[in-house]
Each structure stands twice: as C-alpha cells, then as structure tokens.
Chain A
Amino acid sequence: MIYLDNAASQRIRKKALEVLNTGLMMHFANPSASHKVGRKLLKEIEAHRIFFINSIKGLKKYNFIFTSSATESNNMSILGFEFKEGDVVYISKSEHPSLIAPLQKCEENGLVLKELPLNNSGGVDENKFFGTLDSKTCFVVLSHINNQSGVIQPINRISQRIKEINPKIKIHLDATQSFTKVPVSLENSLIDFMTISSHKLGGPKGIAGLFVRTGIKIFPLLFGGGQEKALRSSTQSYPLISSFRSAAEEGINEIDKSLNSVGKISLKVREYLKKEIPNILFPFHFEENVSPYILTFIIPGISSDIILRHMEQEDIIFSSTSACSSKVKGSNPVFEALGIEDKFHKNVLRVSFSNETTLSEVDSFCEELCKCYKELSYLLPKKK
C-alpha cells in the first residue's frame, strides 16, 4: 500500500511503538496512586510535560495539559473560556470542525462569530482583518498550517499585530499540522492556547495536548480526580504520554532533514503532474508559505471521488479533504473559504506526506494517477 494521507493520520514511529509497548506491559500503574510505582510514573509524566513546554521555548510561560485528541484540546480552550455575551470571535470557515463546532455552540449563549478573512492564496488577509478588530474582539482562532491548503500562516507577525491592536484578545493556535513539521516557538508569549496531536506526528492515537499561557484561567470540561492540575480529570495514560513524547522528540530532532526530503518529494510530484496532466491546478503553491507535507491540487472535469476509488483499487490511498469533512456533500465551506471556485469543489485532491514517504512511492503514485487520468479522460467534457 502507498499511503499518502498522513495529514489525516500517520503510522506510529518504530521507537514510539516500542515505548508504547513497554509502557503498556511494564508501566501500567495508575500515576495518581500513592505507592512508589505510581509516584514514579507521575514524576516521569511531569518530565514529559516539561519536554513539551521546552520544545516550544515556553518554560515558565506555559502550562501543558495532556488530552485525548486535538478535538478535545480545541474544545477545551473554547468551551473552557469564560465568554461574555456580545464577545466577538474571529475564525475562518477553512478551520477544522473541532474549532468551528464548539464556537457555534457558544453562539447560543450570545457569542458573536465573525469570519476571519483569507486572501486568494489561503493566507490571512491582514489588511482586511486588522481593520475589523475592535474592543469587542475577544478571541481569534487560527491554524498554523491549514490541513487542506498547507498554507503556513505568519503567526508571529499576525499575533504581534493582534496584540498591538488589543492586548486582551486571546489567540488560539491549532498547531496539529505543524508541530514537529516546521519550527514552532511560543517564546514571545503572544499565543494564548496551542493544540498539538500525537497521531499526526507518528505517535499513538488517543493522546494530544493543549498549551495554555500562564495566568490564563480556563474551566475544565471533565471533573473527578483532579489530574492535570484539576483541568482534566481522568487517569493519565503513562504509556500514551511517553510514546507521544518519543515520537515528538524524534520528529523535532529530524525536523530539518524531514523538511528537506519532503520538500523534494512534494516538488517532484508537482512537476511530474504538471507535465502529464495538462489542465491540473495547484491552488495553494506559493513559494515558502506552504508546507511541503500537504499538496492540494485540482483535476477539472473528473470527480475526485472517482479518482480516489480508482487509485484505491491500486492500493494507493489519499484523500480529497480532511477526514473530518469527508462526508460533506455539495458545496464545501472549507474550499469556499480557501477561495476554490464552486465548480472545482468536486475535483479537489490532497496528498500528504510524512517523514517516511519515499521518492519511489511518489513515483508510483504519479504514474498511477496519470494512468488513471488518461483512462478517465473520456469523462472530460468534449471541446466543441
């Protein structure tokens, strides 16, 4: 199988799997237990927590809460934040449903949701956006790397401008697609919340985290034994946490090497497809502002679903949109927000790479995709 849907989920790294297995077999005690085994695990969890905080240069400036998923982390900062009636929150429709849905829930209590404008290359339309911020704006939600477009937002510049306009505005950054893929630093403390997830970076599923800037108060969603500084009661899973750390550490250590190899892979795919598929469109590829890990393209005239199913027959797996939006029928709000014309919504395809993706894999992918395109080209509208 050639798997090119790593933005949805990545295979667990070998070392992380070993750590997980050892954890499950050997370190299964409850870290909240008062016996020596429990106390030892709790100490190690704290060390892992420090690792994550250090990894973004956030020591003393941030707290880090282990959660079960990026969805939970995103929900936690939004639902746990004390919004007042009339508070304004900015978010783009291109964001993940785990950010949009909890905000829509808060709308029932008087929160005002406003569209964060994007320009036609998928970046924040800064001129338009900063002009609209005012004293009622209380929260801005952004993704570091959008899971569909791969566009990397210039977070430092944007967050600096936001805080200049109104330092009270809170910023939530979803770094699910960027952590360990591109450098992420919160050294300047401009970001208030940041989500990361384990299975997107080669760790196990069921574990993720939320960075919360020191001094910010949020309310827990889960109550009980008071774990995670009473912000998330639940027995902590030492095996998942330690495996998450292992994967993250490996990813961070190899960040440049992976960026380099994935960059070459992405470029190769773009060039190959551009040459072989005459009408192919790459709506987001603009120099260094796009993550090489995500490559979205459009093949006009042929339904992406049909291409995906033809390719899956050859055991080549990729996608058209994020797994959490794949059941959306009709016009797709994410594509719309990203500036993809309506007529192309059924023709969008996304390949996403990992540090494990090889050149020979993408060669086979390109060959098969071109073969599939040629085979299906009779479906293209005939020119008169």
Chain B
Amino acid sequence: MGESIVVNVDELWLRGKNRSLYFKALIKHVRETFWHYHGKDFSCQKEGNRILVTTKGSFKNDIYLALKRVPGVHSFFFAKVLPVEYDNIYPAVKELVSSLKEMPNNFKVKTVRSFKRFPKNSQEVSREIGERVLSDFPSLKAKMKNPELSIQINITEENIFVSVEKYFGMGGQPYGTTGHLITLLSGGFDSPVASYLMSKRGCHQTFIFFYSYPFVSEDVKDKILDLSSLLGRFQRETKLYVVPFGDMQKKISKSCRDEYRTLLFRKHMIECAGILAKKLNAEALCTGDSLAQVSSQTMGNISLIDSSSKLSIFRPLLGFNKSETISIANKIDTYSISERPHDDACSLFAPKHPIIKPDKKYWEDYEESVDYTEELESCLSNAEVYNISICGEVEKVEAL
C-alpha cells in the first residue's frame, strides 16, 4: 500500500516556452515542503501536467496545510494511483468510499480523460462506476448538483487517479519565478497581507522591519518575528532584517518641519530598503499602503515617496478596503498577531496635523540639503538578521 497526492498547477495555460522552468520551480518547492512536513520517504515527479507525490507509508496531516501555502498550487487531492486499466478503477473507488470516516448522503462520479485512446469515454466510466457504488452502498443516492461526495477519476496516459476529496491551494505563480522583493513589514494588518499577495504572485521576498527602540517596546519586534514566521512559510527560505531606527527618527525629527516627520520617516525607510535591495540584488520594494488610509498614504504623499525611490514600489493593497485586508489577514492567520496592541513609532512622533498636500518645493529643498545615506547604511549594517525556514522556524544569524 501507499498513498499519493496529485498536485494540479495553477495558471498553466498562461505558460509558453517557459513552462519547464515553471514546473521546475514548483516541484522544488513541493519537494522541499514534503521534506519538512513529511520526511524523506516519498518521490515527487512531473506526471503530465501534474505533479505526483507518492509515499510507501501514509502522509502526515500537516501536509494538507503546508501544500495550501505553496504558491502555484491550484489544487491537490489524495489519490490512489492505478495502472491504466478499466478493471482497476472500481475496487479502488470502493476502498476509498468504505474508508470515509462519515458516510455522506449523496454523491456523484466525475471522470476526466486526457488519454483519449482509453477504451471507454468519460461518461461511460462515470455511469458504470456510479451504478456499482449505488448497488454496494445502498444509503448513498446520486446527486449531480452540489453532492456531498465527489468521486473523481482522472485517466491519463500514464496512470489512473482515483480520489474522493479535493483541496484548493493558494494558486498563483511558483515561488521565486517572478523576482526578488524587499517587503517592508510593520506590526499592523496591512503589510503582512501585502506580503502574502506578493507570495501568491511568485515573488521571493526579504523582509525588512524598522525597529524604533527605545521609542517602541520589544513587543513590536516579537510581533514582527511572529508575523515573519507565518509569512516565511509561503517561501522556501526567507531573511528578515530588523533595522535599528530610533536614532534615525530622532535625527530626522530634528531636521524637518513637524508636519513632515512621518512622511520623511517613510522616505528614509524606503531609501534604506533600497540600499538593502541593491546589496541583495532585489528588483523592487513592497509596502502595505492603501490609498488614503492614513495621511501618509494620500496620492500626493505616495507620489512624493515614489519620486524619491530608485526602485519600483509594489503596493498590492492600494485599492483594498480595510475590511478586505482584514478578511485576508484572517484567512492567513496574521490577524491574531497583528491585533496585539503595540506602540507605533510613527504615531508617537506624529504631529497633530500631518501634511496631506505636501509642498514640493520644501521637499526638494530638503532632499537637496539633507543626505542620510551614510547613516542609513550604518543602520543597515547594525541590523539583526534572522533566517526563517519553510516551517516558520526563526533563527538569528550573523549580520550582513
């Protein structure tokens, strides 16, 4: 005996000549996921347009959740893998249905046949197998629309897959196939969700957190470590940079008009993230900004920040309402961490009336007269660096 998991790949139809690269990346991630969540006893290979993972024993339960965190996985199902012969199908179906923990009330059989030379067509297979299920399991009734149990039969040239349950993955692009981002994390709700959305699009991300101790407490850093542990599970490997920023904020505050403090903190954070991007060959930055959510996220302020950045800034939440962000935060489990109260350094420094429509002239003059590149480099070289494994284990490592 043994078990198999068949992984369906998302957005495959969008792929052209780079299909093999795409598969390679996904197989690598799937394989690593099984190593960590199952052990070494499995094989993983491309099987037509799917990925087939088999083990001689049985898969651990953790693998369900782990596969849901692999970008590029459209769906997966636990299946019996059979040689391509019609007579093999029903005994496997019978065994799977008998092993269900709770017997459902109704069912349907759905057959997909990519192997067109198979002696029976999809309808015939579904009908004949369905009839035998009805006779062997008299409590089950056939139901074509929204059945409680869906028996799936996939007939490919290489194998027949029989399964009774299907799980959906996060979809999107395989990890690492779309580029390297530096993602700015804060302890709030938005940036973790932004990171998740970029994971979904296949980005490799390095996280950066600007730590304003002694203006904020260590609780904020603990939150970031916990959030990074969750977000790191969407990648094969992740680095987090915790950059000491308290002194920098003090310096900036003293160098500018009060109402520009928050905006200038952001400008320098973006600059610092840009320096890290250059060191790590990352191609763009990512933030959790949502248009007009707070004063520093007005169109004018966002444009101004963009004008100071050499790299593109991805803002996947720009058009999100807060409720939409929160609903994803709930789905990816970051909500309960983000909701823990923490001090926000920006609000501690925030003037009563932060600037909403910035004066371009003042901004340009400031940029002309103040250059903190050296200080930012020094912040970065004093950063604490953490490695986050595919399982979310966080480990402090040597700095840059």
Contact = CB atoms under 8 A, between A and B. Distances in A.
B348 A329 contact: no
B215 A306 contact: yes
A313 interface: yes
B341 interface: yes
B214 A382 contact: no
Interface in B241-262: 250, 253-254, 258
A381 B217 CA distance: 22
A312 to B, nearest CB: 7
Given A313-B214, A382-B258, A303 B348 contact: yes
B341 A310 contact: no
Contacts of B250: 375
Given A305-B343, A329-B341, A378 B217 contact: no
A230 interface: no
B254 A305 contact: no
Given A312-B214, A313-B214, A306 B258 contact: no
B213 A306 contact: no
Nearest to B213: A309
A381 B253 CA distance: 13
Nearest to A303: B348
Contacts of A313: 214
Instruction: Give the bracket for the number of chain B residues in contact with chain A.
Output: 10 to 19
A47 interface: no
B345 to A, nearest CB: 10
B349 interface: yes
B348 A306 contact: yes
A374 to B, nearest CB: 13
A306 B250 CA distance: 12
A310 B214 contact: yes
B348 to A, nearest CB: 6
Given A305-B343, A329-B341, A379 B214 contact: no
Contacts, number: 23
Interface in B343-400: 343, 348-349, 352
A9 B237 CA distance: 44
Interface residues of A, number: 13
Contact of A305 (B217, B253, B258, B352): B217
B258 A309 contact: no
B250 to A, nearest CB: 8
Nearest to A308: B214
A381 B351 CA distance: 8
Interface in B304-348: 341, 343, 348
A381 B353 CA distance: 12
B253 A378 contact: yes
Contacts of A379: 253, 348-349
Contacts of A309: 213-215, 217
Nearest to A306: B215
Contacts of B348: 303, 306, 379
Interface string B198-235: 00000000000000011101000000000000000000
Contacts of A306: 214-215, 348
A375 B373 CA distance: 24
A375 B214 CA distance: 13
A306 B345 CA distance: 10
Nearest to B341: A329
A312 B352 CA distance: 28
Q: Give the most central of B214, B258, B341, B352: most A CB within 10 Å.
A: B214
Given A309-B217, A379-B253, 13 more contacts: A303-B348, A305-B217, A305-B343, A306-B214, A309-B213, A309-B215, A310-B214, A313-B214, A329-B341, A375-B250, A378-B254, A379-B348, A381-B352
18 contacts: A303-B348, A305-B217, A305-B343, A306-B214, A309-B213, A309-B214, A309-B215, A309-B217, A310-B214, A312-B214, A313-B214, A329-B341, A375-B250, A378-B253, A378-B254, A379-B348, A379-B349, A381-B352
Which A-B residue pairs are the 4 nearest by beta carbons?
A309-B214, A310-B214, A329-B341, A306-B215
Interface of A: 303, 305-306, 309-310, 312-313, 329, 375, 378-379, 381-382
Interface of B: 213-215, 217, 250, 253-254, 258, 341, 343, 348-349, 352
